[in-house]
């Protein structure tokens, strides 16, 4: 592939920079008059053509006349319509956005066709700078944008062959072509390229131009810019490139995909040798240095463009939050650095627990196709881990945040908290587990306990530990269903909630994230921040675009939440969730809906709140007699034991530490 052919491929898809708003596109904004310094070098290259040919007088005369005539016509057209290169003072190239976990581990990179990370010239290896200039433009620091001798030689070669066989473009000309011009092959386009290069050199320093070029140039495999290319080809930064690696990278520019070491390593090595030999001829390196570089082992990296996310459910949720706030274009081109709330190690534990837990359920005869798990830090309300399906490759639907399912008895703690916060009820208060009916629209609703029967008078504590339905419905009526809904809103639940009599039994559709987040506020003793997937977002220069530093607010009554925590610990030690016992203070609640369509366990310690859901997307039952306490609580326990390994044991504050309302 010829130099020009490859470079035209690199320019495909690029659009000319737009003129200043309010100006006519056909007239460049405040276009300066063309100084004579723009014109003189153009005619210098025409003279150089004459010197290079040294052929017959007739051939020289005809060639010179043709070039001058064409050049004058081209100049007349080009000077009138060329864009103003001064817009590059504010030019920001499309740049890749990087997503990291809370500890700084890269999770994903987001970009459109331009996979690029912009770096300062000081952060590019001197080896790469010299190698690129040696093979692309060895007179870069001595010319003023065009090299008349090389351009003239290229024009002569192309005219003699009747096709484009040599480019003659300087680094500056390549830069303006990629930024401003179309891939058209014509003398007038070449002259326009030269004029823009001259203008660019009048406005920017050589180092500024070289920095723009190294960040703009296409290096193959959808990588743009030296930093991204260095990461892709050699797994290191552009600053750390050796001479051998730099020469191999510089050799790619003319035909990136053809010379790529990922495509043909031996061809890439021969191209590397060409670059090194050129550097020796220029006396920029010694023959010994070239030999050492040729013999240096090359350890190839991994192409970074369009790599799969390390945790796709996580990054999918993060991207959605970013796009909602900043827009898709900014996410794909804005060069953001996104620190998420997720802990990759904890995420790995969650994914494995879901897989093994699901396999165990199937062996136990539970007919459930899917699971979801969400872990939230109660101290920050940062989401630490999230699994939205058993196998992402088979199902990309994220049930942790998108699937609305009935929580069953896992909803009851919201009712009991409301009762405690009313000041009329305590864990030791009694309530009658006896038959009762309530009007519900045009019908009468008569709640039933799971498994049937009634227990008579019992304490509130016992009613919640044993997950009795009738007492929960009675409390809901005493407190008021609307008050229960208010508590749900206070806890951050945003899903629609209808004020039906059966609401205390979980007749509402919520997401696992909403359950884990609401329970996290119980775990924190009533303190709440906005639940989020993102800690901080900056641009590539370090400017903060979004800062989600927690700002906790006390939203619950301290005594009431302490009383609830005390009772919910009993659910694990004495009640329906004994299978969730992890050997340290923990609180939680089982959930099983009617007909066993959804089974849950949501529980927490002061440092972590986790909700686990199991069910089928078609809402079919998972099996008769299947409960959250028997089948989901063990999965929760498995995750918590691993997640809390090495985490200090903490206890919940007792109700006696607070004044009762």
Instruction: Identify the pLDDT of residue 192.
Output: 80
Instruction: Identify the pLDDT of residue 86.
Output: 82
Q: How far is CA 631 from CA 349, 463, 591, 595, 643, in A?
A: 19, 21, 11, 15, 19
Tokens 């001064």 belong to residue:
86
Q: Tens digit of pLDDT for each residue in 349-390?
A: 999 999 999 999 999 999 999 999 999 999 999 999 999 999
Which of the four pLDDT bands, split at 50, 70 and 90, describes residue 87?
Answer: confident
User: Does position 196 have pLDDT exceeding 60, yes or no?
Assistant: yes
Q: How far is CA 441 from CA 445, 447, 498, 500, in A?
A: 9, 15, 12, 9
Answer left, alpha or beta for residue 104, where phi above 0 means left and psi between -120 and 50 means alpha: left
Question: Is 161 labeled as catalytic in the residue annotation?
Answer: no
User: Does position 26 have pLDDT exceeding 90, yes or no?
Assistant: no
Alpha helix stretches (DSSP H) within 524-588: 558-573
534 contacts 398 by C-beta, under 8 angstroms: no
Which of the four pLDDT bands, split at 50, 70 and 90, describes residue 167?
Answer: low
- Name the superfamily (CATH) of residues 3-81+113-295: Biosynthetic peptidoglycan transglycosylase-like (1.10.3810.10)
Q: How far apart are CA 521 and CA 530, in angstroms?
A: 11
User: Does position 215 have pLDDT exceeding 50, yes or no?
Assistant: yes
Which of the four pLDDT bands, split at 50, 70 and 90, describes residue 564?
Answer: very high
- One-character DSSP codes across 223-239: EESHHHHHHHHHSS-GG
User: Does position 441 have pLDDT exceeding 70, yes or no?
Assistant: yes
Average pLDDT over residues 130-150: 89
Q: Tens digit of pLDDT for each residue in 540-554?
A: 889 999 999 999 999
Annotated active-site residue in 95, 136, 351, 465: 136
Which of the four pLDDT bands, split at 50, 70 and 90, describes residue 33?
Answer: very low
Tokens of 34: 């063309």
Q: Tell me where in the chain the CATH 1.10.3810.10 domain(s) lie.
A: 3-81+113-295
Average pLDDT over residues 588-615: 96
Which of the four pLDDT bands, split at 50, 70 and 90, describes residue 48?
Answer: very low
User: Does position 3 have pLDDT exceeding 60, yes or no?
Assistant: no
Average pLDDT over residues 169-198: 79
Q: Which CATH number fits domain 348-657: 3.40.50.10490, 3.40.50.620, 3.30.300.180, 3.40.710.10?
A: 3.40.710.10
Q: How far is CA 530 from CA 72, 297, 340, 509, 534, in A?
A: 66, 51, 14, 21, 11
Q: Tell me what the pLDDT averaged over the chain comes to.
A: 86
Question: Is 188 labeled as catalytic in the residue annotation?
Answer: no
117 contacts 356 by C-beta, under 8 angstroms: no
Annotated active-site residue in 232, 409, 517, 540: 409
Which of the four pLDDT bands, split at 50, 70 and 90, describes residue 13?
Answer: very low
Instruction: Identify the pLDDT of residue 407.
Output: 98
Instruction: Identify the pLDDT of residue 155.
Output: 62
DSSP designation for 18: P
User: Does position 127 have pLDDT exceeding 50, yes or no?
Assistant: yes
Average pLDDT over residues 290-306: 89
Angle between helices 633-643 and 344-363 (to 10 degrees): 150
Q: Tens digit of pLDDT for each residue in 300-348?
A: 988 877 777 889 999 999 999 999 999 999 999 999 999 999 999 999 9
Q: Tell me where in the chain the CATH 3.40.710.10 domain(s) lie.
A: 348-657
Q: How far apart are CA 212 and CA 546, in angstroms?
A: 28
User: Does position 58 have pLDDT exceeding 50, yes or no?
Assistant: no
Comparison of pLDDT for 44 and 384, the residue scoring more:
384
For the chain, how far is it from start to end, CA to CA, in angstroms? Answer: 81
Q: How far apart are CA 486 and CA 156, in angstroms?
A: 82
Least confident of 6-15, 255-264, 273-282: 6-15
Average pLDDT over residues 467-484: 97
Average pLDDT over residues 527-536: 96
Q: How far apart are CA 594 and CA 591, in angstroms?
A: 10
Q: How far apart are CA 521 and CA 417, in angstroms?
A: 12
- Top-confidence range, 77-86, 306-315, 497-506: 497-506
Q: Tens digit of pLDDT for each residue in 252-277?
A: 999 998 999 999 999 999 999 999 99
């Amino acid at each position: 592939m010829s130099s020009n052919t490859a470079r035209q491929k690199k320019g495909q898809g690029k659009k000319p920079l737009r003129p200043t708003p309010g100006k006519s596109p056909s007239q460049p904004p405040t276009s300066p008059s063309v100084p004579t310094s723009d014109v003189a070098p153009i005619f210098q290259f025409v003279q150089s053509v004459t010197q290079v040919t040294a052929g017959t007088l007739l051939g020289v005369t005809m060639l010179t006349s043709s070039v001058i005539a064409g050049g004058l016509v081209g100049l007349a057209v080009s000077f009138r319509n060329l864009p103003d290169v001064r817009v590059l003072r504010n030019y920001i190239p499309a740049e890749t956005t990087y997503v990291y976990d809370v500890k700084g581990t890269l999770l994903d990179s987001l970009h459109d066709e331009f996979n690029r990370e912009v770096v300062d010239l000081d952060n590019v290896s001197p080896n790469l700078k010299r190698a690129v200039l040696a093979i692309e433009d060895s007179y870069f620091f001595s010319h003023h944008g065009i090299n008349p001798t090389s351009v003239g030689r290229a024009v002569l070669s192309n005219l003699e062959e009747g096709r484009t066989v040599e480019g003659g473009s300087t680094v500056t000309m390549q830069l303006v072509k990629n930024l401003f011009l179309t891939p058209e092959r014509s003398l007038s386009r070449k002259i326009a390229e030269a004029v823009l290069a001259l203008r660019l050199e009048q406005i920017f320093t050589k180092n500024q131009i070289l920095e723009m070029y190294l960040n703009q140039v296409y290096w193959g495999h959808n990588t743009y810019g030296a930093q991204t290319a260095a990461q892709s080809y050699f797994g290191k930064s552009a600053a750390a490139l050796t001479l051998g690696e730099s020469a191999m990278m510089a050799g790619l520019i003319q035909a990136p995909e053809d010379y790529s070491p990922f495509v043909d390593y031996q061809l890439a090595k021969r191209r590397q040798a060409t670059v090194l030999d050129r550097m020796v001829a220029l006396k920029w390196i010694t023959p010994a240095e070239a030999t050492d570089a040729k013999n240096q082992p090359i350890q190839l990296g991994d192409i970074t463009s369009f790599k799969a996310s390390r945790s796709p459910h996580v990054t999918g949720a993060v991207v959605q939050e970013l796009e909602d706030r900043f827009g898709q274009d900014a996410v794909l081109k804005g060069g953001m650095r996104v620190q998420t709330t997720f802990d990759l190690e904890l995420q790995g534990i969650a994914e494995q627990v879901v897989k093994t837990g699901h396999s165990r359920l199937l062996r136990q005869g539970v007919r459930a196709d899917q699971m979801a798990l969400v872990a939230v830090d109660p101290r920050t309300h940062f989401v630490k881990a999230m699994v939205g399906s058993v196998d992402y490759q088979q199902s990309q639907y994220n049930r942790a945040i998108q699937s609305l399912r009935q929580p069953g008895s896992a909803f009851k703690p919201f009712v009991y908290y409301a009762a405690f916060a009313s000041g009329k009820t305590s864990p030791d208060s009694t309530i009658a587990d006896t038959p009762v009916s309530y009007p519900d629209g045009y019908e009468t609703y008569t709640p039933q306990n799971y498994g049937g029967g009634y227990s008579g008078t019992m304490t509130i504590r016992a009613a919640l530990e044993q997950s009795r339905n009738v007492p929960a419905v009675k409390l809901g009526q005493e407190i008021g269903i609307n008050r229960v809904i208010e508590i749900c809103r206070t806890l951050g639940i945003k899903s629609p909630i209808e004020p039906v009599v059966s609401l205390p039994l979980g007749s509402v559709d919520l997401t696992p994230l909403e359950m884990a987040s609401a329970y996290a506020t119980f775990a924190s003793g009533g303190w709440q921040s906005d639940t989020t997937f993102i800690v901080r977002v900056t641009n590539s220069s370090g400017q903060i675009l979004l800062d989600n530093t927690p700002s906790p607010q006390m939203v619950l009554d301290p005594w009431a939440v302490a009383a609830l925590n005390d009772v919910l610990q009993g659910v694990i030690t004495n009640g329906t969730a004994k299978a969730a016992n992890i050997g340290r203070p923990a609180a939680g609640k089982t959930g099983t809906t009617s007909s066993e369509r959804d089974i849950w366990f949501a529980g927490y310690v002061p440092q972590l709140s986790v909700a686990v859901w199991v069910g089928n997307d078609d809402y079919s039952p998972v099996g008769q007699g299947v409960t959250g306490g028997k089948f989901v609580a063990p999965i929760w326990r498995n995750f918590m034991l691993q997640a809390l390994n090495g985490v200090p044991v903490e206890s919940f504050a007792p109700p006696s530490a607070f004044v009762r309302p």
